[in-house]
Chain A
Amino acid sequence: MMLNYYRPDNLNDGLVALSENSWTLLAGGTDFYPARVGKHLNEKVMDLTGIRELRSIRETEDQIYIGALTTWTDIVNANLPAAFEGLRKASKTIGGVQTQNAGTICGNICNASPAADSVPNLMALDAKVQLMSVKETRMLPLEEFILGNRKTARKSDEFVTGLIIPHPGKDARGNFEKLGSRAFLVISIAMVGVVAELNESEEIENLNVAVGACSAVSQRLYLLEKEAKGQKLQDLEIKPLHLENLEPIDDIRGTAAYRNAVIPELVMRAVKGVL
């Protein structure tokens, strides 16, 4: 009999099954179930949560590996470098504690919502996505992995197995600013992830900034990053040109005009907040 639910306990078995059939992949369930309210569940689902090896965080000298099944709570509790502070803050704002205990970081990027709170932080961290099939293992920068609203570069025979983040160094610091209409359980109107490195006189040595929920995919602000180098943090100024690749829309959470108007302030707060 063909199974409609399969929960492999190791990566290899999962990959083999994935090469033979097409499956809907399930991890924390925080996106899977909400999309199926009131429906009888009869699709073929591979539940990845049995693959223990994918739930780990490892730090080496030159990189940090975050396994695909790492939950938000795992990130909050992990002893990560200061550059991950933005990601940590974001993890604490995703859904309720219940969601944070179940939802996984790779589930979040695979779901590819424009409002995914992890994404701007991971972009600011220059995260790369590790994809694996029985045939090959490949790596894609996160910006090339997420192709659009709910669209990714994952092929149907691939798992996202984890994220590789080049070690940002001890001096880099992260921050996250989220704008929403209520205190908890809120989907962002806009959010900003930052990783920055300052020297002793508070001059910017390096700045990575990404803005979320203001375009189909979160965007790095490369021009701003370039111009910021060498500037004093206090003197930093956000110009319209810096935000040119953002394309906010009107939606239930806020108007495009509002997003455009508040992004500079949000970016400034996020950047200054690294101190």
Chain B
Amino acid sequence: MIKEDKSRVTFNLNGTPQTVFASQIRRFSDVLREDLGLKGTKVGCDAGDCGACTILINGEQRYACLTATGQLEGCDVRTVEGLSKNGELTSLQHSFLEEGAAQCGICTPGMLMAAQSLLDQVPHPSEDQVLEALSGVLCRCTGYTKIVKAVINSGQKQTSISSPDAGNAVGSRMVKVDGQKKLTGEELFGADKAPEDSLWLRTIRSPYARARFSLINTEKVLKKYSGLVKVLTADDVPGNNGFGIYPHIKDQPVLAKDHVRFRGEAVAALVGDRESVESVSEEDLNLTWQPLEPVRGLDNALAGNLDPVQSEFPDNTLSRGFVKKCDVEKGFSESHTVAEGIWTTSAIEHGYIEPEAGFANRIGDRLEIFVCTQTPYMDQSEVAQVLGIDKHQVRIIPSAVGGGFGGKLDMSVQPLVAVASWVLNRPVKCVYTRPESLASTTKRHPVRIRAKAGCSSEGKLTAFEFHGDFNTGAYASWGPTVADRVPIHCTGPYFVPKMLSETKALFTNESPSGAFRGFGTPQAAIAHEALMDTLAEKICMDPLDFRIKNALRKGDHTNTGQLLENSVGQVECLEALKSRWVEWRKAAEEYNQQSAVIKRGVGSGSVWYGCGNTSMSNPSTIQVGINGQGKVTLYNGAMDIGQGANTVMVQICADALGIPASQFDLVMGDTDLTADAGKTSASRQTFVSGKASQLAGECLRAKIIQLAEVSDRATIHIEGEKLIAKDETGEHLIILSDILPQENGDVLTGEGTFDPPTTPLDENRQGSPYATYGFGAQIAEVEVDTSLGTTKVLRIAAAHDVGKTINPTQVEGQIHGGIAQGLGLALMEEYIQEVSENLHDYLMPTVGDMPSIEVILIEDPEPFGPYGAKGIGEHALIPTAPAILGGIKHATGVAIHHLPATPDRVFSEIQQAGNNNANA
């Protein structure tokens, strides 16, 4: 082994001369982060695919992860830390903050630097110049729309950012409470913090989809690498070597024992100094593999000719779901027209730009874990059972989360660093590489759907039948949830008198499928919307009118027989799109008259989606406190993963309490410091935790009113230790520092808990599974190059009923981001094991792929929600792919049944249609 030789490299860093003593071949991103402690430059791939590490070298944007440190000699380097001076944001950063261009913020430093390189040359760039300048940075949250706008607007005169007054936070475009630090590089994500003396953990993973293996002798490798401290195997797990979402299914081992079930499964973990653990080769390890024939794909899983993936499930069926409403056969026999089809979709990667990362630190008989997660409280119990300790011995301190989308609901690094730190009594850190993240974490379920719908001659839906087989991969993860949610939603937001839906989650030796924005309903929406289009076409009705005619309305009963009493904005959403629909369809048809090769088309998609868990209690508790010095703190357990829960919770609580939102401090998600606000999933945080936040604010306000003996119309002002409550009888003073504080220093506290009311489902799955539903519709105009099969989405209009908009900027951001992911699902995203384990073979939309987007917000208030609000996170994504596919059909006449609609698939459909026409 060649000894690492270090040298001095001198360069100018953010205006100051800097010398590092480092191996010159090391990636400069690594030297910046680890040696110089500048964590603002992020690493999402180490391969030049994501742009998170973008810095300026001699004024040019460069990927720091592809730059040898030795190349920096004599260069001028700028990083995100060099943008703002003395805490003053630059006009670019200011513009990002105001536009809401940073959601999770993991891409933001790279975006800022890429934009800065352009603005240094061109202070007032055109949109095309901005697109080109940002072409090398991926964002998975924002759909790029607000980023592009922020860059274009950054040259304009800045107004100072104003914060809403008391009582006016809800509904305002308040900037993110945690926005500033996302722009300066100060925000700490999973990989950005760890004790100095942390050991490094690297996981050894299976290269086979299914195999037996043995790892006999680890002494040799420990001897060869003096910095290697431990090779962890299954036998080192002190508690239960299994984890999983469901209390009764802990089927995924932390480290596999003897047998692996998917490529990428962890079999051992190397712990030691980073250089040593990264130097160990597979040969060093004495691993022997005996590959077995894997169960691949749904047909294989159903055929049952191979050993089942998990022996307890002989037919590979993890779970089934269904909903039955009246006699569907009768419904079809009464139908005038029937449409049916089969659709398949591919595995899809969440593609958050932040790979999983964190560290664990054992402190006495407790373990602390700093990690990026969507669900700190669930992590706490999971880690505890893996370690065989009480859950109160585990503290989860969530880092800022660089995107989640459902993928950070399952554990990743948590149990690994936990076991290592617990066993070794040392802090242990782990950062997944991108290939590791892709190979080992969950995906969106691939599915095969068979569906059929019928309508009357007047175009009223009469019957609907749905069968969905979901490939749930090697372990259960969220498979049962998907199998459960889909049958309820599978008709789309339409009234169907008679329906039957059945789903299965099937094990295969593929990546575990888990939770991904929409839990299977985005896949189902492709089928129900295609059926609506076909029925409308068959009875010669306009597709949008058909949808309006059948849309769920107040007073309707859903598939599960739930009476919809409030907040059913589906018809309003569709009607809001009507004039654009007519105009765009006409324009497309006119365009096609004079264009032979390039064809345009306009399609639509609709969504309804229940907010919160299905027929299950899912309470949130939020706390708020004021300390003796008048500091107001919101203890927010509702994880902000970029979507903006921190801001929403503050806005709601501030108005409920009656003080300005700017007076709030925030503690997020720490299991020692906040109450359980459940998971950031199922579009529940604004609705459920938001309500809890409102109740917490009201609770604290009631206490103040009582203490100050004022009327409940009183205004509240906090100035240092003085709290002044003012009503018609005058000013009433409370000296906060006179009140006996509780342990955390707070003298007055409020707490709110909300659990959305649902009912269990009966033997036909009838009942009220959700307290409320979000509704929406989108239309998309696409352009298909019929000679090459390529599709470009030109524009999208999106109308969503959110009950009440707590923060328009954030709701728009959710919709833009959902559309970007829906576009990826429709046109390009397909995860194939072994083949697409990087971000240049796994394609996600870039800044150049986005259409222009118009957002229309409909507010039909939800009485249970905070100020009438309900969720939007998942709703935004669901209608996009159907609208795009409908557009392709309108443009070319071909229906795409196998997703994604890549150029080769679209082309071959067009060819086939051409041949059929020629033969006919």
A residues whose Cβ falls under 8 Å from a Cβ of B:
1-5, 7, 26, 28-30, 32-34, 37-45, 47, 49, 73, 95-99, 101-102, 179, 181-187, 189, 252, 254-255, 257-258, 261-262, 265-266
Q: Per-position contact with A for B780-808: 1 when CB-CB < 8 Å, else 0?
A: 00000001111000000000000000000
CA of A32 to CA of B47, assembled, Å:
9
Question: Which of A185, A252, A254, A257 lies in contact with B846, CB distance below 8 A?
Answer: A185
Contacting pair A254 B904 (CB below 8 A): yes
Contacting pair B68 A26 (CB below 8 A): yes
Identify which of residues 1-57 in chain B touch chain A, using a CB-to-CB cut-off of 8 Å: 1-5, 7, 23-27, 45-49, 51, 54
Question: Which of A99, A182, A258 lies in contact with B63, CB distance below 8 A?
Answer: A99
Q: What distance in Å separates the Cβ of B404 from its nearest Cβ neighbour in chain A? A: 22
Task: Known contacts A96-B136, A255-B904; decide if A33 and B828 are in contact (CB<8 Å).
Answer: no
Contacting pair B275 A179 (CB below 8 A): no
- Complex contacts, B293 vs chain A, CB 8 Å: none
Q: What distance in Å separates the Cβ of B23 from its nearest Cβ neighbour in chain A? A: 7
24 contacts between A and B (CB under 8 A): A5-B7, A5-B24, A5-B70, A7-B24, A7-B70, A7-B73, A34-B66, A37-B435, A40-B274, A40-B279, A47-B68, A96-B136, A97-B135, A97-B136, A98-B63, A99-B48, A102-B66, A183-B847, A184-B847, A185-B135, A185-B136, A185-B840, A254-B902, A265-B787
Identify which of residues 274-313 in chain B touch chain A, using a CB-to-CB cut-off of 8 Å: 274-275, 278-279
Closest to B47 in A: A34
Contacting pair B436 A38 (CB below 8 A): yes
CA of A4 to CA of B24, assembled, Å:
9
- Complex contacts, B278 vs chain A, CB 8 Å: 38-40
- Complex contacts, B2 vs chain A, CB 8 Å: 2, 4, 42-44
- Complex contacts, B136 vs chain A, CB 8 Å: 95-99, 184-185
Q: Which stretch, B393-401, B610-618, B651-659, B831-839, touches the partner chain A?
A: B831-839
Task: Known contacts A98-B48, A98-B62; decide if A182 and B202 are in contact (CB<8 Å).
Answer: no
Closest to A4 in B: B2
B592 at the interface (CB under 8 A from A): no
B736 at the interface (CB under 8 A from A): no
Q: What distance in Å separates the Cβ of B198 from its nearest Cβ neighbour in chain A? A: 17
Contacting pair A258 B70 (CB below 8 A): no
- Complex contacts, A7 vs chain B, CB 8 Å: 24, 70-71, 73
Closest to A43 in B: B2
Contacting pair A182 B70 (CB below 8 A): no
Contacting pair A5 B23 (CB below 8 A): yes
A interface, by DSSP: helix, strand, loop or mixed?
loop
Identify which of residues 111-155 in chain B touch chain A, using a CB-to-CB cut-off of 8 Å: 114, 117, 132-133, 135-138
Question: Which of A44, A96, A179, A261 lies in contact with B135, CB distance below 8 A?
Answer: A96
CA of A252 to CA of B835, assembled, Å:
7
Identify which of residues 60-74 in chain B touch chain A, using a CB-to-CB cut-off of 8 Å: 60-63, 65-68, 70-71, 73
Contacting pair A5 B5 (CB below 8 A): yes
CA of A97 to CA of B835, assembled, Å:
25
Contacting pair B789 A49 (CB below 8 A): no
CA of A95 to CA of B840, assembled, Å:
9
Report the contact-size class of chain B (Cβ under 8 Å from the partner).
35 or more
Task: Known contacts A2-B2, A4-B25; decide if A96 and B51 are in contact (CB<8 Å).
Answer: yes
CA of A112 to CA of B62, assembled, Å:
23
Contacting pair B841 A252 (CB below 8 A): yes
Contacting pair A41 B843 (CB below 8 A): no
Identify which of residues 344-368 in chain B touch chain A, using a CB-to-CB cut-off of 8 Å: none
Closest to B436 in A: A38
Closest to B23 in A: A5
Contacting pair A262 B789 (CB below 8 A): yes
Contacting pair B60 A183 (CB below 8 A): no
CA of A261 to CA of B904, assembled, Å:
10
CA of A252 to CA of B840, assembled, Å:
11
CA of A265 to CA of B846, assembled, Å:
26
Known: A3-B5, A185-B49, A189-B903. 18 other contacts (CB 8 A): A32-B66, A33-B46, A34-B48, A34-B840, A38-B433, A38-B435, A42-B4, A49-B68, A97-B135, A98-B66, A179-B788, A179-B790, A181-B902, A182-B849, A189-B904, A257-B908, A262-B787, A262-B789
Task: Known contacts A99-B136, A102-B66, A181-B827; decide if A37 and B46 are in contact (CB<8 Å).
Answer: yes
CA of A254 to CA of B900, assembled, Å:
12
Contacting pair A181 B828 (CB below 8 A): yes
- Complex contacts, A41 vs chain B, CB 8 Å: 23, 25-26
CA of A49 to CA of B58, assembled, Å:
15
Give the top 10 A-B pairs by smallest Cβ distance, nearest first: A96-B136, A183-B848, A258-B904, A34-B47, A40-B278, A184-B135, A38-B433, A29-B66, A184-B846, A254-B904
Task: Known contacts A40-B278, A97-B136; decide if A4 and B4 are in contact (CB<8 Å).
Answer: yes
B210 at the interface (CB under 8 A from A): no
Identify which of residues 176-209 in chain B touch chain A, using a CB-to-CB cut-off of 8 Å: 202
Give the residue among A26, A185, A186 with the most B Cβ atoms within 10 A: A185
B562 at the interface (CB under 8 A from A): no
Q: What distance in Å separates the Cβ of B115 from its nearest Cβ neighbour in chain A? A: 11
- Complex contacts, B843 vs chain A, CB 8 Å: 181-182, 186
Contacting pair A37 B846 (CB below 8 A): no
- Complex contacts, B49 vs chain A, CB 8 Å: 34, 185
B262 at the interface (CB under 8 A from A): no
Question: Which of A43, A47, A186, A266 lies in contact with B71, CB distance below 8 A?
Answer: A47
Contacting pair B832 A258 (CB below 8 A): no
B600 at the interface (CB under 8 A from A): no
